[in-house]
């Protein structure tokens, strides 16, 4: 630094949290006005309502609901997340020319998407239960777990979506990667694991399979929920191994921790990519 600096009026102390909060507010206002978010909540509402109306309202309905949530939610979160960040490009460029730090802006954008998506899930799935009442009060915990796992998965897949959109400026490529990852995690993964288990049937594979399961957030959420419901038969191959290894209580804790890591790591990588990006 050469000469003593003369601060100009207007260059006051920064308040990063204040600007992050503002960005969240704008994004929330935008999201709540948008039709797709309402559609997303409505979808969960109709599915849950139908299952409660036409199903027995017991554990079976909850299982079906779980399957739908675990299948649809990652797709919506990753595709919308990717699109959202591409669409926010103008907003981002405008705000970065203002006294807004990149970390605050990233936090604002992330919360501004993850929060309304989570809200849509909680309202869409929760409301029918409130309207119909619970068949069995003991289900309350299970529904809570389902909503919790759903919120966690929303956070995971929006973070992954942000990472995709930041790494590639090509919209089409970004969307392709997003859909591909969803296919991998939701459909192909268990099959691949099963294939692996069959090929190497003669070897002790427990630890490898366990590691593979921890590497798939959808699997983690599923196992976490099934351990609560205690229906190992529906867990798929990795889930069964998981329960065998950890038992139900520890297993759920391990799965929850791994899910938290699945949020933290992509968010950290996303912040890094966002800070280094040229706009």
- Is the Cβ–Cβ distance between 155 and 263 less than 8 Å? yes
Among 13, 198, 233, 249, binds another protein (CB under 8 A): 13
**CA–CA separation, 233 vs 3, rounded Å?**
73
Burial of 87 (0-12, 13-18, 19+ CB in 10 A): middle
Among 50, 75, 96, 143, binds another protein (CB under 8 A): 96
Cβ 115 to another protein shortest distance, Å: 18
CA angle 106, 156, 44 (to 5 degrees): 110
The region of 19-27, 36-44, 72-80, 141-149 touching another protein under the rule CB under 8 A is: 19-27
| Phi and psi at residue 133, to the nearest 5° | 80, 160
The 53-92 site mask, x for binding another protein (CB under 8 A), equals -----------------------------------xxxx-
Place of tokens 């959420």: 221
Among 38, 55, 102, 194, binds another protein (CB under 8 A): 102
Q: Should residue 35 be labelled a site residue for another protein when binding is judged by CB under 8 A? A: no
Q: Kindly report the length of the chain.
A: 279
Among 55, 99, 148, 176, binds another protein (CB under 8 A): 99
The region of 15-23, 138-146, 159-167, 232-240 touching another protein under the rule CB under 8 A is: 15-23
Cβ 109 to another protein shortest distance, Å: 12
Among 66, 85, 95, 218, binds another protein (CB under 8 A): 95
- Is the Cβ–Cβ distance between 57 and 132 less than 8 Å? yes
Place of tokens 């490009």: 89
Which of residues 33 and 204 has its CB atom nearest to another protein in the complex?
Answer: 33
**Residues between 240 and 279 that touch another protein (CB under 8 A):** 275-279
- For 147, residues 6+ apart whose C-beta sits below 8 A from its C-beta are 121, 122, 125, 126
Q: Which helix (H) or strand (E) holds 61?
A: helix 59-87
Contacting residues toward another protein, per CB under 8 A: 1-16, 18-19, 21-22, 26, 30, 88-91, 93-104, 275-279
């Amino acid at each position: 630094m050469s000469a003593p600096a003369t601060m100009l009026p207007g260059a006051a102390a920064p308040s990063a949290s204040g600007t992050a909060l503002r960005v969240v507010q704008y994004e929330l206002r935008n999201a709540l006005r948008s039709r797709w978010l309402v559609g997303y909540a409505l979808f969960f509402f109709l599915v849950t309502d139908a299952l409660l109306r036409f199903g027995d309202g017991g554990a079976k309905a909850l299982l079906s609901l779980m399957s739908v949530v675990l299948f649809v939610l990652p797709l919506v979160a990753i595709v919308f997340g990717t699109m959202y960040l591409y669409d926010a490009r103008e907003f981002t460029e405008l705000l970065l020319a203002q006294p807004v730090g990149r970390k605050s802006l990233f936090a604002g954008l992330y919360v501004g998407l993850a929060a309304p998506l989570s809200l849509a899930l909680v309202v869409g799935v929760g409301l029918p239960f409130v309207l119909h009442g619970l068949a069995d009060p003991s289900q309350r915990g299970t529904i809570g777990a389902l909503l919790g796992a759903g919120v966690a998965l929303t956070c995971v897949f929006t973070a992954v979506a942000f990472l995709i959109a930041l790494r590639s400026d090509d919209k089409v490529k970004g969307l392709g990667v997003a859909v591909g990852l969803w296919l991998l995690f939701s459909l192909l993964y268990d099959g691949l694991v099963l294939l692996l288990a069959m090929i190497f049937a003669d070897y002790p594979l427990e630890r490898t399979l366990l590691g593979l399961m921890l590497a798939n957030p959808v699997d983690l959420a599923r196992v976490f929920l099934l351990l609560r419901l205690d229906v190992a038969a529906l867990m798929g191959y990795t889930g069964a191994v998981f329960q065998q290894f950890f038992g139900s209580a520890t297993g759920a804790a391990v799965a929850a921790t791994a899910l938290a890591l699945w949020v933290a790591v992509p968010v950290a990588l996303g912040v890094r990519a966002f800070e280094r990006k040229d706009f």
